[in-house]
Structure 1
């Protein structure tokens, strides 16, 4: 048991596993944000596909940055300005990645009557009426909900940021395991993440995403989970009916809608 060679081998194995997981996290971070990563990170389509397990962890990192920035900014600026600043910072950090997906999905599904045309519109970089209206409403709702939470207490807002950023991403990532990927274009930005999702990867992303629920009472936590499960079921059926599965834009839309639903639940409990 005290053999130095055995201990060294075990130590090397642990370091190798940790290095592999850190590499996957960096890939997820580079895919979902504009945050710089080390240049020696190994990339392949297979590794990027496995990186979806850390979708929620990326959310927690983003929430940490936003929480610190809000606390600092709110020391000198009004609440409404502080909330707008962290919303803008969130868009800069992610490159409006998920918001772009929400707008594209709204344009595609709202602007056509057959699957091929809907998918083609989603791939168009231009934004249309459906996308514009949806994006404006989503951002306005997010500001209103976050402003209400911030008015109650800074700690309430910070907890909401962590929960919204992580659990919404867990829900979006979970769709990979239950719906077919429908875009056949090789240039699709989400294709490496959409090939498959093992049960282990799904479990990891859900556990990490649900971690902030420990900050809340059982009634709030249960309500959030119930609302999100209902939304996931209805959203999945709607996507199957409209396009026969999901695209990367749909994952972005799912994240944005889920985040708003989480804030709605938190606000509803504070209102009662």
Structure 2
């Protein structure tokens, strides 16, 4: 475990300032991608701790909204931006090159706006419905799992763009076995806090998200981009929360 690369991953995925000695060259960021799920675990832990502090005094719904706002500020809406661009591109264009061009455009369209509204609504409502302890576990699992699933997509698909100006680290270095193992170990850690049956269901949800998003990327652009990895992370987060709410309502949790 290389502490420098963990800090590289933390600086890449958040707006936190890193010391000058932390490397951010393309090779270092590509190597640091194996720790993206660990950063998700750390962000989930921070969010869970804040929810635990705020919920007794403010009520869980308001505390959830404040936690979601904090996460957006802390990450710079990094993955949310990818979600909006992906929805705009996939459903705003007809041809592959047009879809890719739309995704690179800094302007946001109707599909992007609606995807963000829907995603944030799902998170807010789901985390408000879960009892406090389970909501804290949900934050850990959804953030770690989302970054695990997104990090594994380059194992299956090629990079979709041919331009050299991309900031997507995975295009420089496809995840090897060690990278995949680190991603999955960090992603699976929060599942130890759930009953075995519930953990198995969440793992199946992640596998389904991986398969569906990979199929969607192949169908629309025959590969992945940084935006589609961000969208995968957000979709996985939402599906994880939905699954936990459904299991709680069925008496599994």
Question: How would you bin the TM-score normalised by the shorter chain?
Answer: over 0.9
Q: Which residue of 1 aligns with 2:23?
A: 42
CA distance in 1, matches of 2:46, 2:38: 13
- Runs of 4+ in structure 1 deviating by more than 3 angstroms, as ranges, are none
2:170 to 182, 185, 193: 193
Task: Please state how far the C-alpha of 1:244 moved relative to its aligned partner.
Answer: 0.5
Cα deviation, residue 188, structure 1: 2.1
- Report the TM-score, using the length of structure 1 for normalisation: 0.89
* Cα shift readout 1:128-153 (whole Å, capped 9, x = no counterpart): 0110111111111111101101xx2x
CA RMSD in angstroms comes to 1.2
| Matching residue of 1:110 | 91
* Unaligned ranges ≥5, structure 2: none
> Which has the higher Rg, Structure 1 or Structure 2?
1
Distance of 1:181 and 1:198 partners within structure 2: 16
Indicate the SS of the match to 2:165: coil
1:175 aligns with 2:150: no
Matches within 5 A, 1:1-272: 21-149=2-130, 152=131, 154-190=132-168, 192-195=169-172, 196-272=174-250
Q: Given the two structures, how large is their TM-score scaled by the length of structure 2?
A: 0.95
Q: Any gaps of 5 or more consecutive residues in structure 1?
A: 1-17
> 2: distance between equivalents of 1:42 and 1:133?
37
Instruction: Report SS of the residue matched to 1:75.
Output: helix
**How many Å separate the matches in 2 of 1:132 and 1:42?**
34
Between the aligned partners of 1:43 and 1:249, the Cα distance in structure 2 is 20
Name the structure 2 match of 1:11.
none
For the Cα contact (< 8 Å) 1:51–1:193, is it kept in 2?
A: no
Deviation larger for 128-137 or 36-45: 36-45
After superposition, give the CA deviation of every residue in 1:167-197 in whole Å (9 maximum; x if it has no partner): 111001000111100122333221x232211
Q: CA deviation at 1:241?
A: 1.3
Q: For 1:92 and 1:42, locate their aligned partners in 2 and report how far apart those are by CA, in whole Å.
A: 23
Q: Match of 1:245, SS? A: coil
Matched residue count: 249
For residues 74 and 246 of structure 1, what CA distance do their matches in structure 2 show? 38
For the residues of structure 1 that align with 2:143 and 2:235, how far apart are their CA atoms?
Answer: 11
Q: State the distance in 2 between where 1:37 and 1:256 align.
A: 25
Shift of 1:45: 1.3
